[in-house]
Every structure is written in structure tokens, then in C-alpha cells.
């Protein structure tokens, strides 16, 4: 029993996709699943071949019936846009590595956050964000136990 019946033009398009060898793994698995299901293999057999659940295969077959091959590629994923780009991160790191202002022995995260806004390097930033950025940038600043950093 065939779980899906591929259109002739879809069969050709899937063969072309699979022959390229530069597909994302998800797209490759989805295309192979369609081929196997069209050839008469059961959901269980295809599930074992591709190491995906039978429920996933049922969802893919349903997507194919309703949207044809457009489901092969992932839709753009939602998510919060990046607030601080690479240039902003570089500015933050550069300021943190600079000499502390007069009256201070070293930079604190709060002082850095305040100075970044004061110098209009960023519109707004919390001291927590400054700390995360410095941590991700592998900045060689060391914490002294009071939340302050020194080069």
C-alpha cells in the first residue's frame, strides 16, 4: 500500500534534489521519506530507515498532500532579533579594556553600562548584558569578587 502518490514532476524534482549532495539533513530526510512512502514502504519501515518517528512521517505525508514539495525546506524561524551586533560588541569590549575613568581603580559592569550610554555607543544596555557580552567575547578581564573587572 502506498501512503502517498508523488506527482511525476515531484518525483523528478526529488531525484534532482537528492542527486545534488548539498542538501540540509532535514530536507534530505524529508525527500527520502517521500520517495520511500511513494514506493510502497510502510511508515514503520521508513521510520527505521531514516531514524524518525512514524508520527513525523505521517505529518510529512500530510504536508505533502496539502502543500506539495514546499514543506521540504524549513520556514524561517521566529526569534528575537539581535540587539547588539558585532560592532556594538567590539565597542563594549574596547571600552572594557581601556583605562578606568578618573576616580576609579577599575571598571565595574554598572560603570561600563552607564558609560556606554553616556558616550552614545549604545542606546540602552544593562550591566548584565555587558557581562554576558564580555563573557562571550572571551575578554581577558578578571572579576575581583565585587562584580568589578580589571584588565
One pLDDT digit (tens) per residue for the chain, 151 residues: 677 888 889 989 989 888 887 788 888 899 999 999 998 898 999 999 999 999 999 999 999 899 898 888 877 778 888 888 888 888 888 898 888 888 888 899 999 999 999 998 888 899 999 998 888 876 655 555 454 454 4
Give residue 151's pLDDT.
Answer: 47
**How many whole angstroms separate alpha carbon 112 and alpha carbon 106?**
10
SS3 letters across the chain? CCCCCCCHHHHHHHHHHHHHCCCCHHHHHHHHHHHHHHCCCCHHHHHHHHCCCHHHHHHHHHHHHHHHHHHHCCCCCCCCCCCCCHHHHHHHHHHHHCCCCCCCCCEEHHHHHHHHHHCCCCCCCCHHHHHHHHHHCCCCCEECCCCEEEC
Distance CA(126)–CA(128), nearest Å, equals 5
Q: Give the model's pLDDT for residue 141.
A: 55
Tell me, what's the pLDDT at 109? 92
- pLDDT score at 73: 83
Determine the pLDDT at residue 140. Answer: 53
pTM greater than 0.75 (yes/no): no
Extract the C-alpha cell encoding 114. 552607564
Amino acid at each position: 500500500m502506498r501512503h502517498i502518490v508523488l506527482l511525476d514532476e515531484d518525483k523528478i524534482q526529488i531525484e534532482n534534489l537528492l542527486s545534488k549532495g548539498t542538501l540540509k539533513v532535514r530536507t534530505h530526510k524529508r525527500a527520502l521519506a517521500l520517495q520511500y512512502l511513494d514506493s510502497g514502504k510502510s511508515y514503520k519501515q521508513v521510520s527505521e530507515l531514516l531514524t524518525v518517528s512514524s508520527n513525523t512521517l505521517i505529518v510529512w505525508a500530510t504536508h505533502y498532500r496539502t502543500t506539495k514539495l514546499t514543506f521540504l525546506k524549513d520556514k524561517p524561524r521566529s526569534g528575537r532579533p539581535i540587539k547588539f551586533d558585532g560592532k556594538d560588541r567590539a565597542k563594549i569590549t574596547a571600552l572594557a579594556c581601556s583605562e578606568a575613568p578618573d576616580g576609579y581603580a577599575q571598571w565595574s559592569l554598572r560603570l561600563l553600562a552607564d558609560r556606554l550610554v553616556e558616550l552614545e555607543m549604545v542606546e540602552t544596555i544593562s550591566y548584565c548584558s555587558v557581562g554576558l557580552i564580555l563573557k562571550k567575547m572571551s575578554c581577558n578581564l578578571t572579576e575581583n569578587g565585587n562584580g568589578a573587572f580589571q584588565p
